[in-house]
Each structure stands twice: as C-alpha cells, then as structure tokens.
Amino acid sequence: MAKYIGMRRLASYWRLYLFALPAAALVVVFSYFPAASAIYYAFFRWNGSYVKEFVGLYNFHQLLGWSPFLWLVMAVWVVLMMAVLVGRPLWLARGAPWGLVGLVGLVGIALFAAAETSTVLHMTAGQAWAWYSQALWATLIGVAVHQVFRKGWSQWLQGICILYGFLWFFYQSMMETGDQTLWSGFGVIFILVLANLVKMVPSIVTAVFIHRLKSDRWQYIYRVLFVVPMIVPAMVGLLVWKSFYDPMQGILNRILLGTGFLDVLVWVDGLLGWDVFHAGTNPSWLGDASLVIPSLIFWGFPWVGTVGVLIYLTGLASIDESVYEAADLDNASTLQKFFHIELPLILTQVRINLVLMIIGTLQTYGQILILLGDSGGPRGVALVPGLYMFRSAFVELYAGKACAIGLIVFFFILILTEINNRFVRVEK
C-alpha cells in the first residue's frame, strides 16, 4: 500500500533522484522540446530552415476556416450532445434532448431564411439545406424514437443518430470553410477507424481459441508463433503487401483469376453500376481512386494482430478455472461462455486496444506513404492528415502549416482519449 511521505523526509532522499535526472533530461530534450517547438512554429510561416515570419493564427485560419456562427453552434451542439450521451450533469441532461432538437431546428430555419437574402457557407441556401438536412433528420429521428420507446436499444439508436448528425454537420462545415484536403483526409481516417473496429474481432477470436486449447504445450507453441512476426521489420511487410497488389504479377489478382472470383466482381459491378471491375482487365488496386480505400482496408488480411492477440491472452489467462467449471455445470454452450464470461472479463484489454487503435489510426501515414507515395494515391484520395503534414513539411516546405496540422491532430487525440477515460467504463 502506498505510504505518504512528508516533504522533510522526502528531502533526505534527494540523492536518489539524481539517478532519474539523465532519463528525465533525455525525455525533455528528445520529446518535450520538439513538441514545444512544433507548437511555437505553428504560429509562423516557416520553411523548416531559415525563413520564418510570425503570422499568428493564419495557419489555423487556413485549415479550420473562421465562422463565429458555426463555431458557436458547434460549441452548444457538443455540450448538449455530451449531456444526452453521458447523462451528466443531471440538471442539463433532463432537457438536453429537447434543447438539441431546438438547436438543430433553429439552425435549419436560419438556413431556410437565408435563401432570400444571401449565401451561406459559400454556397446557396438550397445547397446548404441539402447537406444540413441529414444532420437535422438524424437528430430528430434519434430523439423521437427514444422518447417514444424508452428502451435500451432506443437509447443506443438515439446516441448513434445524434452523433452522426453532429459529425455530418461538423465535417461539411469544415469542408466549406476550412482546408478541404485536410478534412477529406479526416473523412478517410473515420472510414479506417470503423474498418479497424471490425478488424479487432479476428484477434479476439484467435486469442480465445488459443486460450481454450487443452494442451499447455500447444498454447506455448502458438504464443511463440505469434511473437515471431514481430521480429520481421514492418517495412518488409508493407513492401510484401505492395507486391500483392501489383495488377499484373500480384498474388491477389492471381487468386481472383484462378478462382473465378474476378468474374463475380465484374457481374456485381455491372449489377450495381460501380464501373470499377471490367472483363478482361486486371484491377489496379493502388492505381484506381475507387479501389485505394478498399485496398487499405483489406491490407493485413486476415487482420490477426500479434500485439492484440498477446494482450487478449493476458486478460484471458487471469480468468479463474472455477468460472468455467460453474459454466459447465449450467451446461453453457461455447458461445455462451464467450459472450457471458470471456468477453466481459477482457473488456479492459479491449478498451486498451481500442485506444491504441484510434491513436494509431489518427497518426498513421507511413503505410500509405510506402504503398501510394506522398501524393496519397490517384487524385490524393488517401491523403490523410499525417501524410498531408509530411507533404506540407518536406515536399512543399510549409513547415509552419505542418506544425499546425500536427497540433490539430494532437487535440483530436487528446479529446478522444479524454472521452474514453471519462465515459467508457468497464464493469466486471
């Protein structure tokens, strides 16, 4: 148990802290100083070398745009949305759903009223209403359904709808007033986060299968087999996958041709009108703008992450055998054991991996840089914020702008991590 030590007694151990000074100094020099420098240069027009001119908030104005009306609306929207989702504070949570309905309604009326006078968000009021209607209807439907049914599933539906409505409004507003390249990149990141959520499932299932092996020897062998890939440099894996996507000699197209599945894709394409897959033509996975994002999602198949499996195995190993014995006495099936015992008891590890996944996805750009180059592929379709920051700093020599992009990404990570720490609870 931790013991309180007063300042007088602590002073007598000052010599011990001398051993920590070298490590602290290295952290300050190589971590905190570069971070502080990035914050400082975010307010400069800087080329990364000798050209430096103080421009204040110009870099942020260029990236985020500036509309006092929009930022005021989004600030109030976030407060009301968090009150609905979290249920705190109680004095605000009671009326937050109706306050949110009133807010989105007033914004819709303002857009409709502007049709006779001026343009809104650099577009006509009709165009503004066309994209705002999704945010309006999503919020209204979510709140109305939950007020009628008052069930657990309706509460989830309400949360999803109002969150979608806000994200849609925020994204469209930033696309109109800010840097379109940056916010289209955040749109790609959102898609990748959703895909990575699904890609967490194979690691969980694999860990459960290994944990249920009766033989300790085979459990050890599988653990070792999952550690071995960590020895291979990540760069090698990226280059191997890049060769897989080669349109002429790549393994992926050879498998599609050999199994006849490419003909199925051509048939589905003709049915749905994708205009992506054509008979007698090999798909160019990294050369077609329509296939770049699916290629990034498919990358790493079958999506069994080494670190994720080991983390889940650590959580599964802490489950007492008596729990399984009680489940056997109740004739619990394999799926019942998974959903009622194993999954609830490794939610802490799932939460850790979820946080790491979101942070890693927001920061990602190395994989895309190797696969698609610094342009983000054809038409810059995969120019995510990290790659945009890299390109701005080292290709276009707008290092001050790159520092501002990094600061925006940092605040996104900080906000998402804080939300997770405060509101995502794991109860066992």
CA distance 293 to 250: 18
Q: Does residue 118 sit in helix, strand or coil?
A: coil
pLDDT value of residue 43: 93
Residues 136-140: contacts with CB under 8 Å, at least 24 apart: 136/104, 136/105, 136/107, 136/108, 136/165, 138/162, 138/164, 138/165, 138/168, 139/100, 139/101, 139/104, 139/165, 139/166, 140/101, 140/104
Domain ranges of the chain: 66-177, 197-245+285-423
Task: Walk along the chain (428 residues) and give the pLDDT tens digit of each residue.
Answer: 555 555 666 666 667 777 888 888 998 888 899 889 999 999 999 888 888 889 988 999 889 887 777 888 888 998 898 888 877 778 888 888 899 999 998 888 877 776 556 555 666 767 777 778 889 999 999 999 988 888 888 888 888 899 899 988 888 888 888 899 999 999 999 999 999 999 999 999 999 998 888 888 888 888 888 778 778 788 888 888 889 999 888 899 999 988 989 889 999 988 888 888 888 888 999 988 889 999 999 988 888 888 888 889 888 888 888 888 888 888 888 888 888 888 888 888 888 888 888 888 998 888 899 888 888 889 889 999 999 999 999 999 899 999 999 999 998 888 877 777 666 665 65
pLDDT value of residue 235: 82
pLDDT value of residue 334: 86
CA distance 295 to 238: 12
CA distance 205 to 309: 9
The structure tokens 């599964």 sit at 316
pLDDT value of residue 120: 56
pLDDT value of residue 122: 63
CATH (residue range 197-245+285-423): 1.10.3720.10
CA distance 282 to 248: 7
| Closest among 285, 248, 281 to 371, alpha carbons compared | 285
